[in-house]
Chain A
Protein backbone atom coordinates (compact mmCIF):
# COMPACT_ATOMS: atom_id res chain seq x y z
CA UNK A 1 0.00 0.00 0.00
CA UNK A 2 1.34 3.39 -0.85
CA UNK A 3 1.97 5.82 1.99
CA UNK A 4 -0.39 8.71 2.59
CA UNK A 5 0.48 12.28 3.46
CA UNK A 6 -1.78 13.94 6.02
CA UNK A 7 -1.98 17.45 7.39
CA UNK A 8 -1.75 17.00 11.13
CA UNK A 9 -1.75 20.54 12.49
CA UNK A 10 -1.37 24.23 11.58
CA UNK A 11 -0.44 27.25 13.70
CA UNK A 12 0.64 30.72 12.78
CA UNK A 13 2.43 33.71 14.20
CA UNK A 14 1.84 37.41 13.57
CA UNK A 15 4.37 40.04 14.69
CA UNK A 16 3.14 42.46 17.33
CA UNK A 17 3.56 45.77 15.45
CA UNK A 18 0.24 46.79 13.96
CA UNK A 19 -0.38 48.80 10.83
CA UNK A 20 -4.12 49.31 10.90
CA UNK A 21 -6.21 51.51 8.63
CA UNK A 22 -6.24 54.37 11.18
CA UNK A 23 -2.43 54.55 11.00
CA UNK A 24 -2.48 54.44 7.18
CA UNK A 25 -5.09 57.21 7.22
CA UNK A 26 -2.81 59.49 9.28
CA UNK A 27 0.17 58.75 7.04
CA UNK A 28 -1.73 59.21 3.77
CA UNK A 29 -4.63 61.58 4.59
CA UNK A 30 -5.27 62.23 0.87
CA UNK A 31 -6.16 58.59 0.47
CA UNK A 32 -9.64 57.27 1.26
CA UNK A 33 -8.48 54.18 3.10
CA UNK A 34 -12.02 53.36 4.28
CA UNK A 35 -13.21 53.12 0.66
CA UNK A 36 -10.14 51.11 -0.31
CA UNK A 37 -10.65 48.76 2.64
CA UNK A 38 -14.20 48.03 1.50
CA UNK A 39 -12.67 46.58 -1.64
CA UNK A 40 -9.48 44.98 -0.30
CA UNK A 41 -11.17 43.60 2.82
CA UNK A 42 -8.10 44.43 4.89
CA UNK A 43 -8.42 46.29 8.20
CA UNK A 44 -5.08 45.54 9.78
CA UNK A 45 -1.61 44.19 9.03
CA UNK A 46 1.22 43.11 11.28
CA UNK A 47 4.75 44.28 10.59
CA UNK A 48 7.92 42.52 11.72
CA UNK A 49 10.14 44.54 14.09
CA UNK A 50 13.34 46.01 12.62
CA UNK A 51 15.39 43.23 14.20
CA UNK A 52 12.85 40.47 13.55
CA UNK A 53 13.58 38.25 10.53
CA UNK A 54 11.75 35.53 8.64
CA UNK A 55 13.91 33.04 10.52
CA UNK A 56 12.81 34.50 13.88
CA UNK A 57 9.15 34.41 12.87
CA UNK A 58 9.51 30.84 11.56
CA UNK A 59 10.80 29.76 14.97
CA UNK A 60 7.90 31.49 16.74
CA UNK A 61 5.29 29.89 14.44
CA UNK A 62 6.82 26.42 14.94
CA UNK A 63 7.05 26.84 18.73
CA UNK A 64 3.36 27.77 18.69
CA UNK A 65 2.55 24.70 16.60
CA UNK A 66 4.40 22.41 19.05
CA UNK A 67 2.74 24.06 22.05
CA UNK A 68 -0.82 24.25 20.74
CA UNK A 69 -0.82 20.69 19.46
CA UNK A 70 1.45 18.94 21.97
CA UNK A 71 3.86 17.91 19.24
CA UNK A 72 7.11 16.24 20.22
CA UNK A 73 9.74 18.10 18.16
CA UNK A 74 12.07 15.12 18.18
CA UNK A 75 9.65 13.31 15.84
CA UNK A 76 10.23 15.88 13.05
CA UNK A 77 12.55 14.44 10.43
CA UNK A 78 12.33 17.10 7.70
CA UNK A 79 12.09 20.89 7.68
CA UNK A 80 11.07 22.96 4.66
CA UNK A 81 11.14 26.73 5.01
CA UNK A 82 9.42 28.74 2.30
CA UNK A 83 10.64 32.34 2.20
CA UNK A 84 11.66 35.07 -0.22
CA UNK A 85 13.04 37.26 2.56
CA UNK A 86 15.72 34.99 4.04
CA UNK A 87 17.96 35.99 6.96
CA UNK A 88 21.11 35.77 4.77
CA UNK A 89 22.13 34.87 1.22
CA UNK A 90 23.68 31.83 2.86
CA UNK A 91 23.42 29.64 4.80
CA UNK A 92 19.89 28.52 4.12
CA UNK A 93 17.63 29.96 6.84
CA UNK A 94 16.17 26.48 7.47
CA UNK A 95 19.54 25.43 8.98
CA UNK A 96 19.42 28.32 11.44
CA UNK A 97 15.80 27.50 12.26
CA UNK A 98 16.69 23.81 12.86
CA UNK A 99 19.19 24.87 15.49
CA UNK A 100 16.93 27.43 17.16
CA UNK A 101 14.05 24.94 17.33
CA UNK A 102 16.29 22.21 18.70
CA UNK A 103 15.29 19.76 15.98
CA UNK A 104 17.34 16.59 15.59
CA UNK A 105 20.52 17.02 13.57
CA UNK A 106 19.34 14.04 11.50
CA UNK A 107 16.64 16.20 9.85
CA UNK A 108 16.80 17.25 6.23
CA UNK A 109 16.32 21.01 5.94
CA UNK A 110 16.20 23.50 3.11
CA UNK A 111 14.66 26.80 2.02
CA UNK A 112 12.45 27.16 -1.00
CA UNK A 113 12.04 30.57 -2.60
CA UNK A 114 8.42 30.94 -3.64
CA UNK A 115 5.75 33.48 -2.79
CA UNK A 116 2.00 33.10 -3.00
CA UNK A 117 2.19 29.61 -4.53
CA UNK A 118 4.70 28.46 -1.90
CA UNK A 119 2.42 26.72 0.58
CA UNK A 120 0.89 24.44 -2.06
CA UNK A 121 4.34 23.68 -3.51
CA UNK A 122 5.53 22.93 0.03
CA UNK A 123 2.67 20.47 0.51
CA UNK A 124 3.65 18.84 -2.79
CA UNK A 125 7.26 18.37 -1.70
CA UNK A 126 6.25 17.22 1.78
CA UNK A 127 3.93 14.64 0.27
CA UNK A 128 6.65 13.46 -2.12
CA UNK A 129 9.09 13.03 0.79
CA UNK A 130 6.54 11.02 2.76
CA UNK A 131 5.22 8.87 -0.07
CA UNK A 132 8.79 8.01 -1.14
CA UNK A 133 9.48 7.12 2.52
CA UNK A 134 12.25 9.66 2.93
CA UNK A 135 10.43 11.31 5.84
CA UNK A 136 7.56 10.67 8.23
CA UNK A 137 6.95 14.07 9.79
CA UNK A 138 7.64 17.12 7.67
CA UNK A 139 7.53 20.58 9.22
CA UNK A 140 6.60 23.10 6.52
CA UNK A 141 7.07 26.72 7.55
CA UNK A 142 6.08 29.69 5.41
CA UNK A 143 7.56 32.97 6.65
CA UNK A 144 7.74 36.32 4.95
CA UNK A 145 8.70 39.90 5.80
CA UNK A 146 7.71 41.70 2.58
CA UNK A 147 7.30 44.88 4.68
CA UNK A 148 11.09 45.21 4.68
CA UNK A 149 11.04 45.31 0.85
CA UNK A 150 8.29 47.93 0.52
CA UNK A 151 9.09 51.64 0.15
CA UNK A 152 7.68 53.48 3.20
CA UNK A 153 5.74 55.81 0.87
CA UNK A 154 4.33 53.03 -1.32
CA UNK A 155 0.80 53.23 0.04
CA UNK A 156 -0.68 50.62 -2.31
CA UNK A 157 1.67 47.82 -1.33
CA UNK A 158 1.74 48.84 2.33
CA UNK A 159 -2.05 48.56 2.34
CA UNK A 160 -2.03 45.06 0.86
CA UNK A 161 0.87 43.14 2.42
CA UNK A 162 1.41 42.04 6.01
CA UNK A 163 4.13 39.93 7.62
CA UNK A 164 3.42 36.49 9.06
CA UNK A 165 4.71 32.96 9.48
CA UNK A 166 2.73 29.72 9.48
CA UNK A 167 3.86 26.27 10.56
CA UNK A 168 2.21 23.11 9.22
CA UNK A 169 3.01 19.53 10.19
CA UNK A 170 2.57 16.96 7.45
CA UNK A 171 2.68 13.39 8.69
CA UNK A 172 2.48 9.85 7.35
CA UNK A 173 0.44 8.66 10.34
CA UNK A 174 -1.70 11.30 12.01
CA UNK A 175 -3.82 14.10 10.63
CA UNK A 176 -7.20 15.50 9.75
CA UNK A 177 -6.85 15.76 5.99
CA UNK A 178 -5.21 13.71 3.27
CA UNK A 179 -3.28 15.60 0.61
CA UNK A 180 -4.45 14.74 -2.93
CA UNK A 181 -2.96 15.20 -6.39
CA UNK A 182 -1.23 18.36 -7.56
CA UNK A 183 -1.38 20.69 -10.51
CA UNK A 184 1.53 23.12 -11.04
CA UNK A 185 2.37 26.00 -13.34
CA UNK A 186 5.14 28.48 -14.08
CA UNK A 187 5.53 31.41 -16.44
CA UNK A 188 8.69 33.45 -15.98
CA UNK A 189 7.37 36.04 -18.45
CA UNK A 190 5.63 37.57 -15.44
CA UNK A 191 8.85 37.92 -13.40
CA UNK A 192 9.08 41.66 -13.98
CA UNK A 193 5.54 42.32 -12.72
CA UNK A 194 6.22 41.42 -9.10
CA UNK A 195 9.85 41.86 -8.24
CA UNK A 196 12.47 43.23 -5.87
CA UNK A 197 14.98 43.92 -8.62
CA UNK A 198 18.06 45.09 -6.75
CA UNK A 199 20.06 43.74 -3.89
CA UNK A 200 21.04 40.30 -5.15
CA UNK A 201 23.71 39.53 -7.74
CA UNK A 202 22.10 40.54 -11.04
CA UNK A 203 21.77 44.15 -9.95
CA UNK A 204 23.11 45.57 -6.71
CA UNK A 205 21.33 48.19 -4.62
CA UNK A 206 21.63 51.62 -6.23
CA UNK A 207 21.51 55.16 -4.91
CA UNK A 208 18.89 56.19 -7.44
CA UNK A 209 15.98 58.13 -6.00
CA UNK A 210 12.48 56.71 -5.87
CA UNK A 211 10.04 57.64 -8.61
CA UNK A 212 6.36 58.43 -8.04
CA UNK A 213 3.81 56.57 -10.14
CA UNK A 214 0.53 57.93 -11.53
CA UNK A 215 -1.27 57.02 -8.28
CA UNK A 216 1.26 58.72 -5.99
CA UNK A 217 3.10 55.57 -4.89
CA UNK A 218 6.85 55.84 -4.36
CA UNK A 219 8.95 53.09 -5.83
CA UNK A 220 12.50 52.23 -6.77
CA UNK A 221 14.33 49.16 -8.05
CA UNK A 222 15.58 48.64 -4.50
CA UNK A 223 12.02 48.04 -3.32
CA UNK A 224 9.16 45.68 -4.00
CA UNK A 225 7.43 46.53 -7.26
CA UNK A 226 4.03 45.13 -8.17
CA UNK A 227 2.23 45.83 -11.42
CA UNK A 228 -1.24 45.39 -9.98
CA UNK A 229 -3.12 45.35 -13.26
CA UNK A 230 -0.84 42.76 -14.88
CA UNK A 231 -0.99 40.53 -11.79
CA UNK A 232 -4.76 40.85 -11.76
CA UNK A 233 -5.01 39.89 -15.44
CA UNK A 234 -2.71 36.94 -14.84
CA UNK A 235 -4.94 35.63 -12.06
CA UNK A 236 -8.15 36.12 -14.07
CA UNK A 237 -6.55 34.12 -16.86
CA UNK A 238 -4.73 31.36 -14.99
CA UNK A 239 -6.60 30.67 -11.74
CA UNK A 240 -9.91 29.43 -13.24
CA UNK A 241 -7.85 27.03 -15.39
CA UNK A 242 -5.80 25.96 -12.37
CA UNK A 243 -8.98 25.22 -10.44
CA UNK A 244 -10.55 23.09 -13.17
CA UNK A 245 -7.30 21.21 -13.84
CA UNK A 246 -6.83 20.48 -10.12
CA UNK A 247 -10.41 19.23 -9.90
CA UNK A 248 -9.96 16.96 -12.93
CA UNK A 249 -6.60 15.63 -11.76
CA UNK A 250 -8.29 14.45 -8.58
CA UNK A 251 -11.12 12.75 -10.53
CA UNK A 252 -13.66 15.19 -9.18
CA UNK A 253 -15.98 17.77 -10.60
CA UNK A 254 -16.39 21.29 -9.28
CA UNK A 255 -19.62 20.44 -7.46
CA UNK A 256 -17.72 17.91 -5.31
CA UNK A 257 -15.68 20.69 -3.71
CA UNK A 258 -17.04 21.70 -0.31
CA UNK A 259 -14.69 24.63 0.26
CA UNK A 260 -12.40 26.66 -1.97
CA UNK A 261 -9.43 28.26 -0.21
CA UNK A 262 -7.47 30.41 -2.62
CA UNK A 263 -4.40 32.50 -1.91
CA UNK A 264 -5.80 35.47 0.00
CA UNK A 265 -4.44 38.24 -2.22
CA UNK A 266 -7.20 40.73 -1.42
CA UNK A 267 -10.96 40.46 -1.22
CA UNK A 268 -11.68 42.20 -4.51
CA UNK A 269 -9.42 39.84 -6.44
CA UNK A 270 -10.85 36.81 -4.64
CA UNK A 271 -14.42 37.86 -5.35
CA UNK A 272 -13.60 38.47 -9.01
CA UNK A 273 -12.23 34.92 -9.23
CA UNK A 274 -15.20 33.57 -7.30
CA UNK A 275 -17.59 35.23 -9.73
CA UNK A 276 -15.64 34.03 -12.74
CA UNK A 277 -15.57 30.44 -11.47
CA UNK A 278 -19.23 30.64 -10.34
CA UNK A 279 -18.50 29.49 -6.79
CA UNK A 280 -21.30 30.11 -4.24
CA UNK A 281 -20.49 32.10 -1.09
CA UNK A 282 -21.12 29.07 1.09
CA UNK A 283 -18.18 27.31 -0.54
CA UNK A 284 -15.76 30.22 -0.73
CA UNK A 285 -13.60 31.20 2.21
CA UNK A 286 -12.05 34.63 2.77
CA UNK A 287 -9.98 35.44 5.84
CA UNK A 288 -7.49 38.25 5.68
CA UNK A 289 -9.03 41.33 7.27
CA UNK A 290 -6.81 41.00 10.37
CA UNK A 291 -3.46 40.45 8.65
CA UNK A 292 -3.58 41.39 4.95
CA UNK A 293 -1.85 39.47 2.17
CA UNK A 294 0.80 37.44 3.99
CA UNK A 295 2.13 35.83 0.77
CA UNK A 296 2.85 32.11 1.32
CA UNK A 297 1.11 32.07 4.71
CA UNK A 298 -2.35 33.15 3.52
CA UNK A 299 -3.58 29.62 2.78
CA UNK A 300 -2.47 28.01 6.07
CA UNK A 301 -3.84 31.01 8.00
CA UNK A 302 -7.19 30.66 6.20
CA UNK A 303 -7.18 26.88 6.77
CA UNK A 304 -6.52 27.44 10.47
CA UNK A 305 -9.49 29.79 10.80
CA UNK A 306 -11.81 27.77 8.56
CA UNK A 307 -11.18 24.82 10.85
CA UNK A 308 -11.76 26.83 14.03
CA UNK A 309 -14.97 28.28 12.60
CA UNK A 310 -16.20 24.79 11.68
CA UNK A 311 -16.24 25.66 8.00
CA UNK A 312 -14.30 22.43 7.56
CA UNK A 313 -16.18 19.27 8.54
CA UNK A 314 -15.43 15.57 8.33
CA UNK A 315 -15.58 14.07 4.83
CA UNK A 316 -15.00 17.43 3.19
CA UNK A 317 -13.19 18.02 -0.07
CA UNK A 318 -11.20 21.27 -0.01
CA UNK A 319 -9.47 22.87 -2.96
CA UNK A 320 -6.34 24.92 -2.35
CA UNK A 321 -4.89 27.21 -5.00
CA UNK A 322 -1.81 29.42 -4.69
CA UNK A 323 -0.73 31.86 -7.41
CA UNK A 324 1.40 34.93 -7.87
CA UNK A 325 5.01 36.08 -7.97
CA UNK A 326 7.07 34.23 -10.59
CA UNK A 327 4.55 33.79 -12.12
CA UNK A 328 4.07 30.57 -10.24
CA UNK A 329 0.92 28.66 -9.38
CA UNK A 330 -0.17 25.37 -7.86
CA UNK A 331 -3.35 23.64 -6.74
CA UNK A 332 -4.25 20.57 -4.73
CA UNK A 333 -7.11 18.88 -2.90
CA UNK A 334 -7.46 18.06 0.79
CA UNK A 335 -9.85 15.36 1.94
CA UNK A 336 -10.83 15.47 5.58
CA UNK A 337 -12.01 12.42 7.48
Chain B
Protein backbone atom coordinates (compact mmCIF):
# COMPACT_ATOMS: atom_id res chain seq x y z
CA UNK B 1 0.00 0.00 0.00
CA UNK B 2 1.62 3.16 -1.19
CA UNK B 3 0.89 6.72 -0.26
CA UNK B 4 1.41 8.00 -3.82
CA UNK B 5 -1.12 5.53 -5.21
CA UNK B 6 -3.64 6.38 -2.49
CA UNK B 7 -3.32 10.11 -3.21
CA UNK B 8 -3.95 9.33 -6.89
CA UNK B 9 -7.00 7.18 -6.03
CA UNK B 10 -8.24 9.93 -3.73
CA UNK B 11 -7.89 12.57 -6.42
CA UNK B 12 -9.68 10.41 -9.00
CA UNK B 13 -12.86 10.61 -6.94
CA UNK B 14 -13.13 14.34 -7.59
CA UNK B 15 -14.40 15.79 -10.81
CA UNK B 16 -13.39 19.41 -10.49
CA UNK B 17 -9.80 19.30 -9.26
CA UNK B 18 -6.85 19.77 -11.60
CA UNK B 19 -4.82 16.58 -12.19
CA UNK B 20 -1.92 16.23 -9.74
CA UNK B 21 -3.17 19.12 -7.63
CA UNK B 22 -3.89 16.95 -4.59
CA UNK B 23 -0.84 16.06 -2.50
CA UNK B 24 -0.41 14.07 0.72
CA UNK B 25 -0.56 17.35 2.64
CA UNK B 26 -3.75 18.64 1.03
CA UNK B 27 -6.34 19.58 3.65
CA UNK B 28 -9.22 17.77 2.05
CA UNK B 29 -11.93 19.90 3.71
CA UNK B 30 -10.56 22.87 1.77
CA UNK B 31 -11.34 21.21 -1.56
CA UNK B 32 -14.41 23.02 -2.96
CA UNK B 33 -16.03 19.77 -3.97
CA UNK B 34 -15.70 18.23 -0.49
CA UNK B 35 -19.05 17.29 1.07
CA UNK B 36 -20.52 14.66 3.37
CA UNK B 37 -21.27 12.68 0.22
CA UNK B 38 -17.59 12.81 -0.83
CA UNK B 39 -16.77 11.23 2.54
CA UNK B 40 -18.93 8.28 1.47
CA UNK B 41 -17.24 8.22 -1.93
CA UNK B 42 -13.84 7.95 -0.21
CA UNK B 43 -15.13 5.18 2.08
CA UNK B 44 -16.44 3.29 -0.97
CA UNK B 45 -13.12 3.74 -2.77
CA UNK B 46 -11.19 2.40 0.24
CA UNK B 47 -13.53 -0.58 0.41
CA UNK B 48 -13.25 -1.31 -3.29
CA UNK B 49 -9.57 -0.64 -3.94
CA UNK B 50 -8.07 -1.59 -0.58
CA UNK B 51 -10.73 -3.83 0.96
CA UNK B 52 -10.59 -1.65 4.07
CA UNK B 53 -13.55 -0.18 5.94
CA UNK B 54 -12.79 3.42 6.86
CA UNK B 55 -15.26 4.86 9.36
CA UNK B 56 -16.80 8.29 9.69
CA UNK B 57 -14.52 8.88 12.67
CA UNK B 58 -11.44 8.03 10.59
CA UNK B 59 -12.36 10.82 8.21
CA UNK B 60 -13.58 13.19 10.93
CA UNK B 61 -10.27 12.81 12.81
CA UNK B 62 -8.16 13.38 9.72
CA UNK B 63 -7.00 16.68 8.36
CA UNK B 64 -4.90 15.80 5.34
CA UNK B 65 -5.07 13.09 2.70
CA UNK B 66 -2.03 11.50 4.32
CA UNK B 67 -3.89 11.32 7.65
CA UNK B 68 -6.58 9.20 5.99
CA UNK B 69 -3.90 7.00 4.40
CA UNK B 70 -2.33 6.42 7.82
CA UNK B 71 -5.70 5.28 9.20
CA UNK B 72 -6.18 2.99 6.22
CA UNK B 73 -2.73 1.49 6.63
CA UNK B 74 -3.24 0.31 10.21
CA UNK B 75 -6.56 -1.45 9.46
- CB of A215 within 8 A of CB of B56, answer no
- CB of A229 within 8 A of CB of B53, answer no
Instruction: Assess A35 versus B33: contact at CB under 8 Å? Given A232-B43, A233-B43, A275-B48.
Output: yes
- CB of A228 within 8 A of CB of B36, answer yes
Q: Is there a chain A Cβ closer than 8 Å to B37's Cβ?
A: yes
Chain B residues whose C-beta falls within 8 Å of the C-beta of A215 in the assembled complex: 35-36
- CB of A229 within 8 A of CB of B37, answer no
Q: Is there a chain B Cβ closer than 8 Å to A241's Cβ?
A: no
- The main secondary structure of chain B at its interface with chain A is helix
Q: Is there a chain B Cβ closer than 8 Å to A53's Cβ?
A: no
Q: Is there a chain B Cβ closer than 8 Å to A71's Cβ?
A: no
Question: 1/0 contact trace for A19-43 toward B, CB 8 Å?
Answer: 0000000000001100110011000
Q: Is there a chain A Cβ closer than 8 Å to B72's Cβ?
A: no
- CB of B60 within 8 A of CB of A35, answer no
Chain A residues whose C-beta falls within 8 Å of the C-beta of B37 in the assembled complex: 36, 39-40, 156, 228, 268
Chain A residues whose C-beta falls within 8 Å of the C-beta of B43 in the assembled complex: 229, 232-233, 236
Chain B residues whose C-beta falls within 8 Å of the C-beta of A36 in the assembled complex: 35, 37
Residues 46-73 of B at the A interface (beta carbon under 8 Å): 47-48, 53, 55-56, 59-60
Known A-B contacts: A233-B55, A236-B43. Give 7 more (CB < 8 A). A32-B35, A35-B16, A156-B37, A232-B40, A233-B56, A276-B47, A276-B48
Can you report 15 residue pairs joining A to B where beta carbons are below 8 Å apart? A35-B15, A35-B16, A35-B33, A40-B37, A215-B36, A228-B37, A229-B43, A230-B56, A232-B40, A232-B43, A233-B43, A233-B53, A268-B40, A276-B47, A276-B48
Q: Which residues of A contact B (CB under 8 A)?
A: 31-32, 35-36, 39-40, 156, 214-215, 217, 227-230, 232-233, 236-237, 268-269, 272, 275-276
